[in-house]
Structure 1
Amino acid sequence: MHLSVRRFQGSSGERFSILVDDTGMPLYYPSLYVTAEMRGASLSINTINGALSALKAMRAWQDYFDLDLESRFKRSELLLAHEIHSLRDFMQKPLENMWPKDGKIRAIKGRQKRVSKENQYNRISVIAEYVGFLAGRLHPETATSARAIATMVSQIKANRPKMGAKSETDRSDSYLKDAVLDQVENILKPGNEFNPVADFGLQLRNALMFSILRLTGMRRGELLNLKTDDFDFANNTLIIVRRADSVGDPRTYQPLAKTRERTVPLIPELMDRVREYISKYRNKVPGARKHGYLFVTHRPGKTTGWPISNSGFGKFIATLSSLAGEFSSLHSHALRHHWNYIFSKYCDENSITPEREEKLRSYLMGWSETSETAGIYNKRHIKEEAGKATVGLQEKHLGKTSDDHEL
């Protein structure tokens, strides 16, 4: 039986996700788990979608080994050690490979493509919690049942891959230099003959999206959630607002702002370009006036005038990445990393104390002041400064050695 995660939007604007079978029927216990345990804990729709993907993978494992966990737990039979090991191994498979075209699920044999350790870790974490939830409701209650279920959950979690410390070559090291970003911005400039799109209004929209990401370091979800009313043209500021489950957003896969609300000053030139896009191009797109979202779909079709989707924005970034080899590592989060790097250099040049820098960065990025994320985003700059310091020490040492030889 092939399963899929189905999203839908309620009348209140709230987004829902359920796991359904090939007839479209929701699976009872996964739906109950999402409702009682995840939605009850106010977890985001993206977190719930990730959990349902993990339960979908778990169901593929059950089908392959012909395991009916619900019946097993009702008979007071919990998972055995070898079954937990098989679950661990199966969770290494990419989700798309769990149901091959011939309909037969195959276990991993030999050298095959595997998902990342982080993905495996998250899958098994979700499955462990779900299995504990399921057994707690179906296993007959005895004097030792709760302890036995807790032990099984612990054994499943113990089979998660060891994550260890992150490699020095992490995502913050994958960045583009200012010269490359300038080149991208120049290509996107409306009227440039090398611009990947022909429509002038669409050119202005794309250039504006890129500039806002580069100059503010905001997330993609925050960018796609911007509304025209968020811009204060009198004071040249932009407010970033969380809009989860917005009724007026027609996108089922609603982009989400994960960070705190905040006000960001913008230079007058950028505000003028926002005003120009709204008045001369956006407001003339059919359907765009039905909502307040800033960036809309210009292409004719059933979604004309809708807020641009995550997939639409992804296609825009992919187009840029394909223009030249030096743009291949371009992604929206790379621009966020780059903003933080430039911010670190600015703070150094203006003698801003580390404590003050961290508070400013946390506010502008939408993090709490107690968050450790500010230090992570500063990693690339710190490594560069450490490199300069150690080279300076080496040069000083070599200078002394040269003086000794002259004596």
Structure 2
Amino acid sequence: MKVTVKKFKSGERYVFLLEEDGVPDFWVTHFVTQKLRMTKAATSIEQYLKDIKHLKRWEKINDRDLLDEIYNGKVPNRDDINKLKEHCSYQAKAVNDAPVNNVVDMGQFHLSKTQDKPTISKSQYISRIAHIAEFLHFIGKERVKHKPTAAELFDELDEMKTRLKSGKPKGKSKKVSLDKSGIADDVFEDFVEVAKPDSNYNPFKNPVVKFRNYLIVQVLYETGFRCAELLALRISDIGTETDNPTLSVVRRHDSKDDPRLKEPTAKTLGRAVSITKELRDLLNTYIKVHRADTKVAKTHPFIFVSHKDKEGHYQSGQPIIQQTINDIFNSIKAVNLERFWAITPHSYRHYFNDQLSDTIDEEREAVKQEVKRLEQAGLHEEAKQYANENTITDQRELELRAELNGHSSLKSGEIYLKRTARKQAQKIRKKMQAKMKHKVEGDHHGS
């Protein structure tokens, strides 16, 4: 089975799960059409189908067909659910889908490379289970809704969904993820320095590619955009105000103008983000000089394009894809892997929010000092009014963060406070160490 994306004439990207014979799976297609198509982007639907494919792999290994079983009145029981949960904790590449005996001991899974049973992250697991539960629950009800026992089966399907989404997978190994939240500011700055076209350490050879790659890094550095937002930038998204240059994120799903099958779409709300005049001018230079030098670029409105000497699958002038940005970052990281190992395109979004936190703290301190000055001058009412009008409260900080990041929920900004908290904790710890009475002394080697 494989997940594939087709682009319709309307511009809509439709995602299919194809059977071995190349025919779309009927019930999966029904699920996409009835449940996902109107509310989910193609990229989100694709992830749903990858997770459902993982379910299908479990069915093949165990010689099961859960939807047929549900139709015949047998809803997955607690034991089925526990085994399915364990299966969902494994990476897709770790499980060989060759069928074995009728009943499978999940501890004896055939693994593709290792017996260590590599697992996915907690967030991936939760998402995978939720997608599978939603699919089985919705299609299960679709299949039995005309049966005399429909009401009873509906209750069992509700219970199945609750059990699937509750608790942790049995036997799921603990996977320790590397925490990248403590990246020092100067590491981010040095990464941008290496990306500059005139840097002696810049790993790229083609001058045009050097220039384009630097602009990509600089845009992420200045705006905190997600990669999909950067990939979807159009020439018209560059603000025209001379003294207030901006780049705008605009939600344009199922665009006819985008030749890419995997259309990059904005996950967050649309917004205009201020950029420096220097970046605005360099973007215009890139568009007018280098982008305009490619024929294909004239057929679409996207800013960043590929630059190849020979025509091919990604011939010169086509809008770049996610892999292009990944390759750019990996090449720059290789210049000093020990220093840059934790840098990713998305980490600049965290960096942007960390700088926002610092700036907000500076604003708060400036307001505090002005209030103090007014009070010392005996202007108590003025001080109170100034504080009321200018103090950035915690609520106001989340509102500012939501505005700049395009979040629809204020809670979405809370994740970006982690880096700031980590840095503050490190500063406090260093102050604690400076006050320690007993410190390492002398040159002791146990002799």
TM class by shorter chain equals 0.7 to 0.9
Conserved 8 A contact 1:231-1:237: yes
AA matched with 1:347: I
Matches within 5 A, 1:262-277: 262-277=271-286
What is aligned with 2:3? 5
- Deviations 1:154-185 (CA, angstroms, capped at 9, x unpaired): 232335449xxxx998756142x333333322
What is aligned with 1:208? 215
Q: CA deviation at 1:136?
A: 1.4
Out of 360, 366, 390, the position equivalent to 1:347 is 360
Q: CA deviation at 1:214?
A: 0.5
AA matched with 1:381: T
Out of 35, 38, 41, the position equivalent to 1:37 is 35
Per mean C-alpha deviation after superposition, the further-off stretch among 293-302 and 55-64 is 293-302
Out of 330, 338, 358, the position equivalent to 2:343 is 330
Q: CA deviation at 1:253?
A: 0.9
Distance 1:298 1:88 in 2: 45
Q: Percent identity, please.
A: 27
Out of 273, 293, 302, the position equivalent to 1:284 is 293
- Deviations 1:71-105 (CA, angstroms, capped at 9, x unpaired): 322322222322222212221221123336xx457
Stretches of structure 1 that go unaligned for 5 or more consecutive residues are 399-407
Residues 1:50 and 2:47 aligned together: yes
Matches within 5 A, 1:235-314: 235=242, 236-299=245-308, 300-302=310-312, 303=314, 304-314=316-326
Q: CA deviation at 1:349?
A: 1.8
Q: CA deviation at 1:126?
A: 1.7
Distance 1:78 1:187 in 2: 58
Conserved 8 A contact 1:239-1:264: yes
For residue 247 of structure 2, give the secondary structure of its aligned residue in structure 1: strand
For residue 248 of structure 1, give the secondary structure of its aligned residue in structure 2: coil
Distance 1:187 1:118 in 2: 33
Stretches of structure 2 that go unaligned for 5 or more consecutive residues are 109-114, 365-390, 438-447
Distance 1:375 1:168 in 2: 22
What is aligned with 1:379? 418
When the two structures are superposed, what TM-score results if normalisation uses the length of structure 2?
0.79
Distance 2:265 2:180 in 1: 22
AA matched with 1:216: T
Conserved 8 A contact 2:11-2:256: yes
When the two structures are superposed, what TM-score results if normalisation uses the length of structure 1?
0.87
AA matched with 1:376: I
Conserved 8 A contact 2:94-2:118: no
What is aligned with 2:194? 187
Residues 1:60 and 2:60 aligned together: no
Please tell me the root mean square deviation across aligned C-alpha atoms, in Å.
2.6
AA matched with 1:158: S
What is aligned with 1:120? 125
Out of 150, 157, 177, the position equivalent to 1:149 is 157
Matches within 5 A, 1:154-165: 154-158=162-166, 160-161=168-169
Distance 1:312 1:189 in 2: 17
What is aligned with 1:231? 238
Distance 1:334 1:362 in 2: 18
Q: CA deviation at 1:342?
A: 1.4
